[in-house]
Chains A and B, each alone.
Chain A
Amino acid sequence: MEVLKEKVEEEEEAEREEAAERGEKMMRPVEMRREEPPMTQEMLRDLEKKLSEIEIVIPEQPSIITKDTFDISKLPLSYQSNTLKEEHLLQVADNFARQYSHLCPDRVPLFLHPLNECEVPKFVSTTIRPTLMPYPELYNWDSCAQFVSDFLSMVPLPDPLQPPSYLYSPTTVLTHQKGNCFDFSTLLCSLLLGAGYDAYCVNGYGSQDLCQMDLTRDVCPLTMKHKEVVQEEEKVPPKKYAIKPPRDLSSRFEQEQEMKKQQEIKVEEEKRRKEEEQRLLEVEKAKIDPLHGLRVHAWVLVLSGKREVPESFFIDPFTGRSYSTRDDHFLGIESLWNQKNYWINMQDCWHGCKDLVFDLGDPVRWEYLLLGTDKAHLSVAEDEEDGMNDDEDVENLGKEDEDKSFDMPSSWVEKIEISPEVFETRCPNGKRVIQYKKAKLEKWAPYLNSNGLMCRLTTYEDLECTKTLEIKEWYQNREDMLELKHINKSTGLNIDYFKPGHPQALRVHSYKSMQPEMDRVMEFYETARVDGLIKREETPKTMTEYYQGRTDFLSYRHVDFGDRVKKLALNSAESNPRPMVKITERFSRNPEKPADEDVAERVFLTPEERIQVRYHCWDDRITASKREFLRRAEVDSKGNKIIMTPDMCISFEVEPTEHTKKLLYQYEAMMKLKNEEKLSRHQAWESELEVLEILKLREEEEEVHALTISIYDTKRNEKSKEYREAMERVMHEEHLRQVEAQLDYLAPFLAQLPPGEKLTRWQAMRVKDECLSDFKQRLIDKANLIQARFEKETQELQKKQQWYQENQVTLTAEDEDWYLSYCSQAMFRIRILEQRLNRHKELAPLKYLALEEKLHKDPRLVEFLKVFV
């Protein structure tokens, strides 16, 4: 291991030197320019002009979030300071780092405790906050990774060769929706750990494309065609009495020669194709990256085992794609960590990550920071020994004994929360553009575009993306159920795909122009249609329809149109349908009819008045009956109209029968066919009308592009919101009313009795009596109260009157006024009290009786009191 390590270090050293040299080289031209002769004023002006013309690309902020963009003080306390345990951990980590740098002086310093947004050093493992999101979409790793890659916008590292000095909490990253690869990885790792995956953040080195999120050399996953798996049919073993094939009389030698020739041609073609591919690859190949192998990147490793992951893999958090652990893009691993521990890679990364073994329990390959985590060790059988080795390793590193029992403090980060609105919007501002090789992918949040556009994939012919090849647009929530629009720029063909539910049951509509009577194909959801139409193809002169599952067994109808006849009358309001020249209809076999009478195909040649009918074939026959009717309106020599003559019907019958030879039979058959011809023409005409209708409808839909809102979407559905609020109000009122109604006059008396028991008659009687006597007492009390007040008022009035009479002489006018008003008020009060008392006296017995009656009717007492009524 020592040797290996040295080797690695040497290589790394070499790389670094190389990089430094390159840096020097790059610096040189700049220095050269400095030595240019001083400029004149004109030159300066020129330069100024030129400079002003140049669009300045402002280099991206080295630090992602500047201090003033958010208020640190609002962050929770755990963000702003370290607990004792965390301090301890930092000490341990520092100690570990010291020893590590001592033992491996050639390796880069470890990425252990970068500063967080509050300038507080935090250990990387504690920055991970495993959280299970309430969204089912985030339960699987692929959709989860896709979400993270969509949700955050990427900011490159301040120094592509070094890990950042800051690592913000996932919550802060989420609120700002941007971050570097470390932020991405930490967030993704948190989500994956929360969902139960065995996930790790990885600090390592990646290719330029990976680090800069450059997908221009990757084929867009959406453009890749699914390879159809050709299932090989199982060869049935030849049966005992299978017939022998007829003898092959062709020359085998000639066949072989032919085969050879073809083989040669094939080889030739293959060669040419390969050369072509090679050439293309050369063109596409990127220029060599000077910093290859030095660019720091962070990504996520998912180990096999948990959540039925069969094989370990990497996830690039920028793109959300998964890679095999042997992929070329990943050039090396420094360390990796999860919320529990931190491991340093002690393996050789000379061949990228190809040869790495991800057995974190193996202390030779992976040096861990903390002992005593529950990470699986190398193997079960040698558990004891490994433990010993571990101890030795620990001693090698000079770790204190007390560290053994030290475990990772819990995360300082708040729980990760994503609100449904933000989750639905996904991308920052709801929009995102990804550039692929020869393709551009644009994504939008639902309801962001008024036409429901969700995703657009533009494919280009060339690498520079100038010539558009085709455009695919995905829609959602459209009222017309449009799902995908496919525009082929080179052929001009548009194909619209619909989900089930279009008012005309449209499934696919491919067309070049929306004008009627042009080339178009419409496919339908045949089960949603009454007539079972599957597909209708149109060309300027023909219309072909395919049916399925009809009761008349019609499966195909083909109409040839002739040129439109010019109409003499200029009533343009009436449509001028094209004349139908030929109608061909095919039927599938109706098992209830004999094959001789079951029509397989009939052709109406309208201008010639010719009808051709072909019948189905018997099971054991190879020829089918045919009949051809030729209507000739002729008049015989006597001037009588000829109804039917034998030459008007040419028929071929497989099994000639007598009755079909009769003119009557033929006449009836012809009449029937004539009627059916009319019907078919009518149906074809209706089909034409329907096409027009659909086109009109489509245009309207395109213009309006109304979006549907699910009834479960409480946020957007205004109507349901109003309705819900109204309902809530009603409910509230109802509740209030109920509370009032439930005022129970028996409650205080029933409460005295043991709860939950049935009343006995005696108890019921007592309750009733008590209730009544109580009420009586109340009435009396009330009467007394009124009486007392009345008496008090009267007494006071008398006192005042006495006082007035005594001091009448000395009183001022004001006092007298006051006295008079007082008197009148007092008199009024007394009168009112008197009235009340009288009224009370009148009502009290009535009220008493009413209560008694009510008690008799009370459901709780009624059965006991019935007898006494």
Chain B
Amino acid sequence: MQRLYDSVEPRVMDEDMLKLAVGEQGPQEEAGQLARQEGILFKDVLSLRLDFQNILRIDSLWQFENLRKLQLDNNIIEKIEGLEHLVHLVWLDLSFNNIEAIEGLDTLVNLEDLSLFNNRISKIDSLDALVKLQVLSLGNNQIGNMMNIIYLRRFKDLRTLSLSGNPITESEDYKMFIYAYLPDLVYLDFRRIDDHMKDLAGSKHQYGIDELKHREHLIQARLDDERARQEELKKHKVAFVEHLNGSFLFDSMYAEDVDGNKLASLPGVGELLQAYKDKFVIICLNIFEYGLKQQEKRKLELDTFNECIQEAIQENQEQGKRRIAKFEEKHLLSLNAIREESDLTNIEIKIVEYGEDITELFNVLMTLEMQLVEQLEETINMFERNITDLVALFIENVQSLMAQCRDLENHHHEKLLEISINTLERIVKGELDEDLPDDVRALFVDKDTIVNAVGASHDIHLLKIDNREDELVTRTNSWCTHLVDTIHKDEIMRNRRRVKEINQYIDHMQNELDNLECSDVID
């Protein structure tokens, strides 16, 4: 095939081109013959070179799943695309192309070396995913803004940077600026950075760097804070008692309760509400504490269980390994013996013996496995009982605490009703001195209205409490069933795998024996 270097005609990256490249760059000589015989799968290729091919669009590369190194230099590529699937890529060369913007690299998290030399890039960005970046070559581009350098501060491993041939380099402060703002850099424009110069630059840009650092630090601190809060919440969620360590539930009860809020302005209700809230929060806190404690207990239980199970499995595996090792020793000996034996009847006898050995090994291994299965089943059942008991206890106690909440609510409701009716009576009698807001006064038209309003508020409160309780109970129960299910499933999986493994091994042994027989017969 002819190469058309000078042709302006862009070429398409098609299957043929890739096959050709893979074939040329694949194994040579004897291995090459083999490779040709078998054909090379694209996904086995680790490195690919596609330079001087006049490629306009990157395409058809999705099969190269395991590619580590890709060279696409000296083409006429205008846009970085089609590289999303090459997640193992470490080395990417896109130099001498017509790329205008950095893009499409968001999945290449393993990239360490990126070359975009001699393109038309004017801005450094979209590189956030490249956390392992060590070498970045951006020479001969159109980068003109110094602020692009600050963007590079996020790459902690960046050691080598080349920016020569950019408008930015014409600035007299260019080198100093880079030394100062990228202190971990070792090579700039293919030259080692002098430590002395670095110090000098550092002191020169001290002020700007300090400010930048301060800002970065603040952002980092905020992120850390946020993360810590999330962690905490997650921990509480695991214990099923999130948002119970405060007045959150209480506040949510009143959030949608219009009538309740209105009634709060009645004389005497304020104090009542405060006392109610205090008591309510205390109970919530109780639930919270209890929940965390129970969570600890459950965790401990689970850990012990896992540890014991692991130990048992390990022990069993050791036994199995010992058996197999013993068998292998014997196996070698008997194979040799069979090979060396000349008498046909003897061979027959030996082969039969050997076959028996294999069967015995199979039996032993299977017995071991069955034994383990029985033991594990027993233990798992025990654990299941215990954990269910624990959960049931937890739910029961939480429910009793919730009942206290409800009692409080009922009590509060009665009090409120009393006050409301009193107020109504006073309004009816016209004895009311205080001025009530109009919307509140609107409630006090007759007895039914006010009783309804108070009742509605009460209902909302009860509903909230019930909902919270329901949520807790359902989640706890579902966690428990899920856990038990997973354990059972894992155990079944383990068992299947082991049985499969044993069968596979025995089959292999049997096969070997059969082969031996065949060859003997042939001989």
| B501 cross-chain contacts in A, Cβ below 8 A | 621-623, 654
Is there a chain B Cβ closer than 8 Å to A243's Cβ? yes
Within 8 A of B (CB), among A635-660: 643-644, 650, 652, 654, 659
In the complex, which residues of chain A have a beta carbon less than 8 angstroms from the beta carbon of B41? 659
* A241 with B38: CB separation less than 8 A: no
Find chain A residues with CB under 8 A from B321 CB: 617, 622
Q: Does A285 contact B (CB under 8 A)?
A: no
Specify which chain B residues have a CB less than 8 angstroms from the CB of A620 in the assembled complex: 313, 317, 494, 497
Interface pair B498/A243, CB less than 8 Å apart: no
Q: Which residue from chain A places its CB closest to the CB of B380 in the assembled complex?
A: A241
List B contacts of A240 (CB < 8 A): 301, 304-305, 308
Contact B512 A239 (CB under 8 A): no
What is the chain B residue whose CB lies nearest that of A603? B332
A623 to B308, Cβ gap below 8 A? no
Q: Does A546 contact B (CB under 8 A)?
A: no
Interface residues on B, range: 35 or more
Q: How far is the CA of A583 from the CA of B381 in the complex (A)?
A: 51
Question: Which B residue's beta carbon lies closest to that of A643?
Answer: B30
Cβ of B44 within 8 Å of any chain A Cβ, yes or no, is yes
When C-beta atoms are compared, the residue in chain B nearest to A661 turns out to be B38
> In whole angstroms, what is the CA distance A243 to B505 when docked?
27
B147 interface residue per 8 A CB criterion: no
A654 with B504: CB separation less than 8 A: yes
CA of A425 to CA of B313, assembled, Å = 65
> Are A643 and B34 touching (Cβ within 8 A)?
yes
Stretch touching chain A among B196-204, B371-379, B437-445: B371-379
A664 touches which of B27, B309, B320, B502 (Cβ 8 Å)? B27
Q: Does A622 lie within 8 Å of B37, measured CB to CB?
A: no
> In the complex, how many angstroms separate the beta carbon of B323 from the nearest chain A beta carbon?
8
CA distance A652 to B512 in the complex (A): 10
Whether A239 lies near B307 (C-beta < 8 A) is yes
A239-B378 contact in complex given A650-B512, A659-B44, C-beta closer than 8 Å: no
Also in contact, A243 and B375, with CB within 8 A (given A622-B321, A622-B501, A650-B512): yes
**Shortest CB distance B66–A (Å):** 10
- Distance in angstroms between the alpha carbons of A654 and B309 in the assembled complex: 23
Least CB separation from A666: chain B residue: B34
Taking the complex as formed, is A668 at the interface, i.e. its CB lies under 8 A from any CB of chain B? yes
Is B311 an interface position by the 8 A CB rule? yes
Q: Which of B15-59 contact A (CB under 8 A)?
A: 27, 30-31, 33-35, 37-38, 40-41, 44
Could you mark each residue 282-312 of chain B with 1 if its beta carbon is under 8 Å from any beta carbon of chain A, else 0?
Answer: 0000000000000000000100110111011
A: contact size bracket: 20 to 34
Contacts of A654 in B (CB 8 A): 501, 504
A654 to B508, CA, bound (A): 10
Asked whether, in the complex, the Cβ of A622 is within 8 Å of the Cβ of B379, the reply is no
Minimum distance in angstroms from B513 CB to a CB of chain A:
12
Confirm or deny: A663 has a beta carbon within 8 angstroms of a beta carbon on chain B: yes
Q: Is the interface of A mostly helix, strand, loop or mixed?
A: loop
How many Å lie between the Cα of A623 and that of B325 in the bound state?
A: 9
B residues near A239, Cβ cutoff 8 Å: 304, 307-308
Interface assignment of B383: CB less than 8 Å from any CB of chain A = yes
B365 at the interface (CB under 8 A from A): yes
A244 touches B375 (CB 8 A): yes
Q: Which residues of A contact B375 (CB under 8 A)?
A: 243-244, 246
B47 to chain A, nearest CB (A): 15
Q: How far is the CB of A542 from chain B (nearest CB, A)?
A: 17
- State A662–B324 Cα separation when bound (angstroms): 28
B258 interface residue (CB < 8 Å to A): no
Q: Does B382 contact A (CB under 8 A)?
A: yes
Q: Give Cα A668–Cα B490 distance, bound, in whole angstroms.
A: 38
Do residues A664 and B35 form an inter-chain contact, with CB atoms below 8 A? yes
- When the two chains form their complex, are residues A241 and B309 in contact, meaning their CB atoms are under 8 A apart? yes
Smallest distance from the beta carbon of A612 to chain B beta carbons, Å? 9
The contact string, 1 if C-beta is below 8 Å from chain B, for chain A 218-244, is 000000000000000000000111111
Which residues from 475 to 519 on chain B have a C-beta closer than 8 Å to any C-beta of chain A? 494, 497-498, 501-502, 504-505, 508, 512
Q: Judging by beta carbons under 8 Å apart, are B505 and A667 in contact?
A: no
Instruction: Specify which of B38, B324, B378, B494 is in contact with A663 (CB 8 Å cutoff).
Output: B38
Interchain CB contact under 8 A, B31 and A668: yes
Contact assessment for A243 and B378 in the assembled complex, using a CB-CB cutoff below 8 Å: yes
The residues in A between 805 and 841 inclusive whose CB is less than 8 angstroms from any CB of B are none
Q: How far is the CB of A608 from chain B (nearest CB, A)?
A: 10
Instruction: Report B360 CB to chain A, min CB distance, Å.
Output: 16
A-B CB contact pairs (8 Å), 27 listed: A239-B307, A241-B305, A241-B382, A242-B311, A243-B308, A243-B312, A243-B375, A243-B379, A244-B378, A246-B371, A246-B374, A617-B321, A620-B317, A620-B494, A621-B317, A622-B324, A622-B498, A622-B502, A623-B502, A652-B508, A654-B501, A659-B41, A662-B38, A664-B31, A667-B30, A667-B34, A668-B27
Which of A's residues lie within 8 Å of B, judged by CB?
A: 239-244, 246, 617, 620-623, 643-644, 650, 652, 654, 659, 662-664, 667-668, 671
7 new A-B pairs (CB below 8 Å) besides A620-B497, A622-B365, A643-B33? Answer: A241-B382, A243-B312, A620-B494, A623-B501, A623-B504, A644-B34, A663-B37
Closest 6 CB pairs of A and B: A622-B320, A241-B308, A243-B375, A243-B312, A652-B508, A623-B505
Residues of B within 8 A of A (CB): 27, 30-31, 33-35, 37-38, 40-41, 44, 301, 304-305, 307-309, 311-313, 317, 320-321, 324, 365, 371, 374-376, 378-379, 382-383, 494, 497-498, 501-502, 504-505, 508, 512
